[in-house]
């Protein structure tokens, strides 16, 4: 389910950035979205490999810990990207959303 949320988030950012047009910056939009796709592709299988949560409490805790660690890695990978100006706001919102999700999961 988390990989689907990541996919939806990336699609929303891609749609927003595509509407903004092109321009200079640290990473071109094409390069930025290529890197976003790579992050998604690299991590989607890892999320799915965690399987579905089970009823046993310890198994559920283990699942939760693994998924939380993966979300943290994805957020860090996204945070390391340096998007062009037209994608900067959407990029910062996406990183903030992952950060907020991590904060909620740690509470």
Task: Read off the pTM.
Answer: 0.50
CA 29, 10, 102, 66 torsion-angle sign: negative
Measured N-to-C along each axis, helices 57-79 and 2-20 cross at an angle, to the nearest 10 degrees, of 20
The model's pLDDT over 58-96, given as tens digits with 9 standing for 90+, comes to 887 888 889 899 989 989 998 899 888 889 999 999 899
Secondary structure of 8-76 as H, E, C letters:
HHHHHHHHHHHHHCCCCCCCCHHHHHHHHHHHHHHHHHHHHHCCCCCCCHHHHHHHHHHHHHHHHHHHH
The model's pLDDT over 2-57, given as tens digits with 9 standing for 90+, comes to 544 555 455 445 444 444 444 445 888 888 888 888 888 888 888 787 776 666 77
């Amino acid at each position: 389910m988390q990989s689907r949320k990541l996919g939806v988030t990336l699609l929303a950012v891609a749609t927003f950035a595509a509407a903004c047009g092109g321009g200079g910056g640290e990473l071109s939009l094409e390069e930025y979205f290529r890197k976003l796709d790579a992050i998604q592709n690299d991590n989607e299988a890892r999320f799915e490999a965690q399987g579905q949560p089970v009823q046993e409490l310890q198994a559920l805790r283990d699942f939760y810990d693994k998924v939380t660690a993966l979300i943290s890695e994805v957020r860090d990978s996204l945070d390391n990207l340096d998007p062009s100006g037209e994608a900067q706001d959407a990029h910062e919102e996406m990183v903030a959303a992952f950060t907020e999700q991590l904060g909620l999961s740690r509470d």
